[in-house]
Amino acid sequence: MTDPEIYDGLTSILRQVFDDPELVATPDLSAHDVAEWDSFNHINIVVASEMRFGVSFKSSELEDLKNVGDFVALIRDKKAA
Amino acid sequence: MKSKPLELHWLPVAADFEGELARARARAADDPPGAWRALRHLAGHRIDFLQTGRIERALRTAEAPPEVPRLRLALLGSFTVEHLVPGLTVGALRRGLALEVHVPPYGQWRQAILDPASDLAAFSPDAVLICSCETDLVPRLPLATPPEEVEAALEASLSETVHRWRALRAMGAAVIQQLPVPTTDPVFGHLDRLVPASRRAMVAEMQHRLIRAAREERVLILDPVAAAEAEGLDALQDRLMWLHAKQHVSPAAGPWFGDQVARILAALRGLTRKVLVLDLDNTLWGGVIGDDGIEGIVIGEGSARGEAFKAFQLYCRALRERGILLAVSSKNDPERALAAFDHPEMVLRRSDFAAFVANWEDKGQGLQRIAQELNLGLEALVFFDDNPAERALLREQFPAVAVPEVPEEPEAYIRCLAAAGLFEAVGYTPDDALRAEQYAANAARRQLEVVAPDMESFLAGLEMEMQVGPVQPVDLVRVAQLINKTNQFNLTTRRYTEAEVGAMIGDPGMLTFCVRLKDRFGDNGIVSVVLGRLRPDGEGGQLFEVDTWLMSCRVLGRRVEEAVAAVIARAARQAGASTVVGCYRPTPKNGMVADLFPRLGFAPAGADGLAALWRLDLAVPPPPPPHIRLTERGVTH
């Protein structure tokens, strides 16, 4: 799975979670940039990503994420493994 | 790899989710009820948790039309439950119920129950769902604890739970207790079950006790484990989410969990289906009777497919035994369709069907005929047909009919119908078991109506016997059922839970009437309910105000209401009232009783908003009709 494919998938997820058709997943985007990105929506993003990309995250992996770029790298590594 | 989340697999896939959602949102500005209906339509599809969340947010700008039943639900839980609210709200929406949900602050639900000044008490819930996790209900004990101590600890914990149930029921709420979902892995293996203080043994033991206690306390049970068993428990819970956010039910399973709860809530409001309308060819048997003939159709022993159809028929018959009516809607030559039931392997018989429509007309017309014959609305019907084109057409023509997405293979039919949860109930009474027989008896009554020379001799020929008394605790389940599902002969359409009616029968200021009717064709069970209050009339006397008066449509046209009016009048007079005041609150469905009070000799007494008020002077009480023998509290008149 290529990075652009993962970004596309995440864009679709973010738009649904926040009901915002303008949102685009970019490497620097983080929870600080979206007002409604609270812990509740964070979990929705994680669960939707697991379903969409067919991967499963460990809690330790999720703790170190700083932005969307980190998350994409994590998904890419999991798909490659 | 993740386990597949629990899906709403019995619902059709939405063709254009984004478009429909956008249109519903756009509509909210100037037509909030229209937006609500559009969102309800959208909720009837196989949506995931993100889509469910979006519908719930859109719903906040919509408004339920006035005829839609409302229900206030308090969601109590020791784990995070906020994420379940969208699934619940949208699950209720799918069933035509407007739900308002209250969630007490995290960790404070126990105090909220006991504090009369809590937000929970102020919310005044109609129903309460207690989401308990294993650690809540089952105390933790050292593994070597002797059996007697385990026993005592379980009893102590159970009695706390029962105490809470009682406090909630005293608020007038129906209580739904979720059974704990086992979260602990075994420490031995199979042996855990035999070690009394192991988590596995204790959770299983507690489940049995909770179920027994719930039966006694009239508390309802939500059993997500049993419901999820077929799909796999991992899909229901997600260990990561449990550790991360104390979310015991995985967010992805939210729509599924919400639908499970919503079916119980809908049943509390009488929004449950009553009739299963079945197609014949390739639904009840394999092949086409018109082409293949009785020797050619596939049913019964001999092939896996034949056995699958037979198993489905057995399941339909089990539904009939619990009181669901069966009907047929088939595009077939009527004689040929009937002849198929002579097949020796056929489980269902012609007499199992309360209505049988086989012709070449549009199926929509057939369903309307079935509803009419059974005196029910289209919202009572479930249509089960293997043909996707028929299903799609019917969904479009008559959205009120429930149309499960029937799988291709007959071995999956039962699973689909059972998972759809369209026949969920909140009680089971001997009346339910009798229902299918009663509809057959009704057919015999109609026959008498045809041969009797006039109405008088028809009524006399029925040999009716009416028994009236105050509502008793044993009647509560059936009375609450009637209060919540009777739409047509219902003067005020006020809905009350079993707990609320229970409070009324203990209230000395209330008079309650429970009417049973027998005739020569059988026992109709409880057919009418009247609830009312005695109050001062402002002139030094007393009046009796009828709060609720309803009657089952099965006994329409038999002057039962006249006999009931005579009983009410007499009881009110005996209680010291000089007047009966009645009220008619119009709804889209109760037009048939708009003129009931004037027909019974009541005089107009003004209006209260849309409601018309009527009064009856008890100086001249109405006479009972001659054809009904009346038994009142054991005294024969």
Q: What is the pLDDT of residues B15-28, one digit of tens each?
A: 999 999 999 999 99
Give the angle subtended at the CA of B545 by the CAs of B539 and B549, to the nearest 5°: 165
- Nearest chain A CA: its distance from B295 CA (Å): 48
Same domain, B80 and B150: yes
Residue B331: inside a domain: yes
Is residue B262 domain-shared with residue B283, that is, in the same domain? no
Q: What is the DSSP string of B491-524?
A: SS-----HHHHHHHHT-TTEEEEEEEEEETTEEE
Determine, yes or no, domain membership for B427.
no
Q: Are residues B162 and B305 part of one domain?
A: no
Judging contacts by C-beta atoms under 8 Å, the chain A residues touching residue B50 are 13, 16-17, 44, 48
| Range list of H helices, A1-81 | 3-18, 39-53, 59-63, 68-80
Number of domains in chain B: 3
Question: Which of B50, B60, B246 is the best mutation test for A, with the most CBs of A within 10 A?
Answer: B50
Does B343 score more than 70 pLDDT?
yes
Q: Which residue of A has its CA nearest to B21?
A: A19
* Structural domain contains residue B552: yes
User: Looking at B215, B239, B268, which one is the last position of a domain?
Assistant: B268
| A-contacting residues in B 75-104 (Cβ below 8 Å) | 82-83
Same domain, B262 and B331: no
Q: What is the CATH number of the domain that holds B467?
A: 3.40.630.30
Contact status of B48 with chain A (Cβ, < 8 Å): yes
Question: Is A58 within 8 Å of chain B by CB?
Answer: yes
Q: What percent of chain B has pLDDT over 70?
A: 94
Residue of A nearest to B235 (CA): A51
* Cα angle B311-B280-B275, degrees, rounded to a multiple of 5: 80
Give B567's pLDDT tier (boundaries 50, 70, 90): very high
Q: Calculate how close chain B gets to A17, using CA atoms only, in Å.
A: 6
Whether residue B323 sits in one domain with residue B227: no
Residue B358: pLDDT over 60: yes
The arithmetic mean of pLDDT across residues B507-512, rounded, is 93
Q: Hey, are the CB atoms on A16 and B51 less than 8 Å from each other?
A: yes
Dihedral angle sign, alpha carbons of residues B453, B456, B458, B460: negative
Check: CB of residue B552 under 8 Å from CB of residue B527: yes
Mean pLDDT score across all residues of chain B: 88
Strands B464-469 and B510-519 come out as: antiparallel
Cα–Cα dist B169/B161, whole Å: 12
Chain A residues closer than 8 Å to B53 by CB: 16-17, 44
Tracing tokens 């209330």 back to the chain, one arrives at: B510
Query: Is the Cβ–Cβ distance between B528 and B552 less than 8 Å?
Result: yes
Task: Please report residues of A whose CB lies closer than 8 A to that of B235.
Answer: none
Which pair of tokens denotes residue B248? 């015991």
ipTM higher than 0.85?
Answer: no
How many C-beta atoms surround the C-beta of residue A3 within 10 A?
13
Structure confidence by residue, pLDDT tens digits, B530-560: 999 999 988 888 999 999 999 987 788 888 9
Closest chain B residue to the Cα of A78, Cα to Cα: B1
Can you name the residues that pair with B70 across neighbouring β-strands?
Answer: B98
Q: 3-state secondary structure string, B583-634?
A: EECCCCCCHHHCCHHHHCCCEEEEEECCEEEEEEECCCCCCCCCCEEEEECC
Longest dimension (CA), chain B: 81
pLDDT score recorded for residue B1: 41
Q: What is the mean pLDDT of residues B578-588?
A: 92
Q: Is A24 on the interface with B (CB under 8 A)?
A: no
Distance CA B392, CA B410 (A): 19
Burial class (CB in 10 A: 0-12, 13-18, 19+), B147: exposed
Residues B480 and B573 occupy one common structural domain: yes
pLDDT digits (tens, 9 = 90+) for B590-613: 888 999 999 999 999 998 888 899
Q: Do the beta carbons of residue B245 and residue A62 sit within 8 Å?
A: no
Among B234, B268, B302, the domain boundary falls at: B268
CB B139 within 8 A of CB B157: yes
Q: Which residues of B touch A43 (CB under 8 A)?
A: 83, 241, 244-245, 247, 251
Cβ–Cβ contact A61 with B under 8 A: no
The structure tokens listed for B260 are 């499970």
Residue B114: the pLDDT is 86
Residues 98-157 of B with CB under 8 A from A: none
Chain A nearest-CA residue for B242: A59
Amino acid found at B330: S
B2, B5, B251 member nearest A43 (Cβ)? B251
Q: What percent of chain A has pLDDT over 70?
A: 100
Give residue-wise pLDDT tens across range B165-214: 999 998 889 999 999 877 777 778 788 889 999 988 999 999 999 999 99
pLDDT score recorded for residue B329: 96
Question: Any idea where the domains of chain A sit in the sequence?
Answer: 3-80
If one counts every other C-beta atom within 10 angstroms of the C-beta of residue B356, the result is 20
**Overall average pLDDT of the B256-279 stretch:** 93
Sheet arrangement for strand B635-636: B603-608, B611-617, B577-584, B542-551, B522-536, B510-519, B464-469, B628-632, B635-636
pLDDT grade for B77, boundaries at 50, 70 and 90: confident
Residues of A in contact with B81 (CB under 8 A): none
Residues B341 and B325 in one domain: yes
CATH of domain A3-80: 1.10.1200.10
Which pair of tokens denotes residue B278? 């079945």
**pLDDT at residue B615 above 90?**
yes
Higher pLDDT: B456 or B381? It is B381
Look up the CATH number of the domain holding residue B127. 3.40.50.1110
Q: Evaluate if residue A7 carries a pLDDT over 90.
A: yes
How many angstroms separate the Cα of B54 from the Cα of each of A15, B47, B60, B132?
10, 10, 10, 27
Identify whether residues B381 and B471 lie together within a single domain.
no
User: Is B234's pLDDT higher than 70?
Assistant: no
Task: Say whether residue A26 is in contact with chain B using an 8 A CB cutoff.
Answer: no
Q: B201 is written with which tokens?
A: 């043994």
pLDDT band at B440 (very low <50, low <70, confident <90, very high): low
- Given a cut of 70, whether residue B93 has pLDDT beyond it is yes
Residue of B nearest to A63 (CA): B244
Q: Are residues B414 and B311 in the same domain?
A: yes
Among the three residues B268, B288, B321, which one is the final residue of a domain in this structure? B268
Whether residue B218 is contained in a domain is answered as: yes
Considering only CB atoms, which chain B residues are within 8 Å of A51?
A: 2, 5, 48, 252
From the number of C-beta atoms within 10 Å of its C-beta (0-12, 13-18, 19+), residue B110 rates as middle
**For residue B630, what are the domain limits?**
454-636
- Specify which residues B99 forms β-bridges with: B71
Let me know if residue B461 belongs to a domain: yes
pLDDT above 90: percentage of residues in chain B:
59
- B254 within domain boundaries: yes
Shared-domain flag, residues B232 and B279: no
Residues of A in contact with B241 (CB under 8 A): 43, 47
Q: Are residues B416 and B514 in the same domain?
A: no
* B332 DSSP 8-state letter: S
Mean pLDDT of B240-244: 60
- Evaluate if residue B243 carries a pLDDT over 60: no
- Of A59-73, B54-68, B132-146, B618-632, which gets the smallest average pLDDT? B618-632
Tell me the pLDDT band of B634, cut-offs 50, 70 and 90. Answer: very low
Task: Say whether both B184 and B305 belong to one domain.
Answer: no
Q: Which of B379, B425, B405 shows the shortest CA–CA distance to B7?
A: B405
Q: Does B250 sit within 8 Å of A54, measured CB to CB?
A: no
- Cα distances (angstroms) measured from residue B467 to each of B22, B420, B464, B524: 56, 38, 10, 11
Of B192, B256, B268, nearest in space to B224 by CA: B256
